[in-house]
Structure 1
Amino acid sequence: MFQPSVPTVDISAVPADAVLLDVREQDEWDAGHAQAAVHIPMSQFVARIGELPEAEPLFVVCRVGGRSAQVVQYLVAQGRSAVNVDGGMLAWEAAGREIVSDGGQAFIA
């Protein structure tokens, strides 16, 4: 079956002021996320699509990039500009990008 390519960007190319959409589940989010990220779990995505920021492109992230790729594919089909963050939050951490815990405590992994 043909799968259209998903726009993807390396973590190093994500601008500091990018609008980051985190589609991981609540427990993953609570464990650590990018401070300015918008959180809409993939399992609730269609029901909460009205909460998406207007900014384009949206940089979509999950743990390693699989779920975010699916969300990007959906958004692109809806006419939105979105890109998948290659490697997800694991790559975000590995690159030394700031992460905050659910309590708002900043840390660098």
Structure 2
Amino acid sequence: MFGPDVPEVSPAGVPAHAYLLDVREPDEWSAGHAPDAHHLPMMEIPARLAEIPTDADVVVLCRSGGRSAQVVKYLMGNGFDNVRNLTGGMRQWAADGRPLASEDGQPGRVI
């Protein structure tokens, strides 16, 4: 979807042990996110690279896969070889019936 230079994984193909890196904005995260995901907004990635594991599978996700693809490219350009983009983003995650948690007391949803 985003070219051969961006490795991807479907929601069903995400390894159980993967580090899920959610790069959406705080309001999107609050509305609904994967239960075990780690929130790191896209614009904070350059200053917080040290927080991203280099020794585990990292799956980067956003709402539909565009921003996360940009982050995967950026991380690969900075020496990460363990990163993949979530195909279809959180929209596909939710459509596939994967679990959602929220921070606002409402049922998890993708906005």
Tell me which residue corresponds to 1:71: 71
The one of the two structures with greater contact order (alpha-carbon pairs below 8 A, sep at least 6) is 2
Q: Unmatched 5+ residue regions in structure 1?
A: none
Tell me which residue corresponds to 1:96: 97
Runs of 4 or more above 3 Å deviation: 103-109
- Give the AA of the match of 1:52: I
- Return the offset for 1:106: 6.7
Tell me which residue corresponds to 2:24: 24
Normalising by structure 1, report the TM-score: 0.86
Q: Aligned-pair RMSD on alpha carbons?
A: 2.2
Identity, in percent, stands at 50
Number of equivalenced pairs = 107
Q: Out of 27-36 and 44-53, give the one that drifted further.
A: 44-53
Deviations 1:20-49 (A, max 9, x none): 000000000000001110110002111122
Q: Unmatched 5+ residue regions in structure 2?
A: none
CA contact (8 A) 1:22 1:41 kept: yes
Tell me which residue corresponds to 1:86: 87
Normalising by structure 2, report the TM-score: 0.84
